Amino acid sequence: MIAKPPGGRARSIQDIVAGAVLIGIAALALYLVNHLPAAGRVGFASGTAPRLFAYGLAALGAWIMISGFLKEGPGVDSSLAPSVAGLFVFFIVMWLVDQGLNSLAKSTGVVLFDKISALVGFIISGGIVAVANGFPGKDRFGMQGPLAILGSVLFFAFTVRDLGLAVTGVPMIVISYFASREGSITEALIFGAAMTAFCCVLFPGILGQPIPLWPTF
């Protein structure tokens, strides 16, 4: 895993990427607090602390990045870049779909859109998992695990309020099962049904959590 580029210069890809990520986060934060005052009457205002921390983070990021060019160190998994990038896109798409449908629902007054957003969430997450799973040369980006895990959690997030725990639980577990390379769909279904039943009894039942149990159509 030691990255040794041609030419023999020592460098650590991991540190270079890590530094770049930190600088990126700091830049985003600075952009977001741009409208807040940087200093107030007694030295501190709402924008002071975030700016201080963001500058610190950027400086550290630069330091880590520079040291990455100077010393030898580990590289990054080849799957890291595509999977993280792909997942962030996936995330943003999911969020936009939900936001868009919600605002559409508000402007038209049709509450049904909420249900559609749940459905779209289900189709997107399920579809992506299926595609990732069925690709020739199975799981070539090493994305199947993360996709299935996050897909199942997002599916839960987007559907639980409308469909209820009793309906959401089984597909959620089935989706997450794709993350593992073992097991069968039958096992997933049986295990999912058992876990869902258990959680339905435990959380809204015994513990009295106010989580919706059945679909609210």
Partner 1 sequence: MELLTNLAHGFAVAVTPMNILLCLIGALVGTLIGVLPGIGPIATIAMLLPITYKLDPTGALIMLAGIYYGAQYGGSTTAILVNLPGESSSVVTAIDGHQMAKKGRAGTALAIAAIGSFIAGTFGTILVAALGKPLTSVAQAFGPADYFSLMVLGLVCAIVLASGSVLKAIAMIFLGLLLSTIGTDLETGEQRMTFGLLPLADGIEFVTLAMGMFGFAEILRNLENTESRDLVQQKVTNLMPTKADMKEAAPAIARGTVLGSILGILPGGGAVLAAFGAYTLEKKIAKNPQEFGKGAIRGVAGPESANNAAAQTSFIPLLTLGIPPNAVMAVMVGAMTIHGIVPGPQIMTKQPDLFWGLIASMWIGNLMLVIINLPLVGLWVRLLRVPYRMLFPAILLFCAIGVYSINNQPFDVVLTAFFGLTGYMLIKLGFEPAPMLVAFVLGKIMEEKLRQAMLLSRGDPWTFLDFSKHPISTVLIVVSVVLLILAVTPALRKKRDEVFVED
Which of 41, 134 has the CB closer to partner 1? 41
Specify whether the CB–CB gap between 143 and 82 falls below 8 A: yes
Strand-pairing partners, residue 74, are 2
Considering the rule CB under 8 A, would residue 36 count as an interface residue with partner 1?
yes
Q: Retrieve residue 58's tokens.
A: 């950027």
Considering the rule CB under 8 A, would residue 101 count as an interface residue with partner 1?
no
Length of the chain counted residue by residue = 217
Which of 115, 176 has the CB closer to partner 1? 176
Considering the rule CB under 8 A, would residue 43 count as an interface residue with partner 1?
yes
Identified binder of partner 1 from the candidate list 47, 116, 120, 166, rule CB under 8 A: 47
Specify whether the CB–CB gap between 156 and 168 falls below 8 A: yes
Sign of CA dihedral 132, 133, 139, 145: positive
d(CA 119, CA 113): 9
Site for partner 1 in 67-86 (CB under 8 A): 67, 74, 76-77, 80, 84
Site for partner 1 in 110-139 (CB under 8 A): none
Build a one-symbol-per-residue string for 164-203: x at contacts with partner 1 by CB under 8 A, - elsewhere.
-x---x--xx--xx-xxxxx----x--xx--xx--x---x
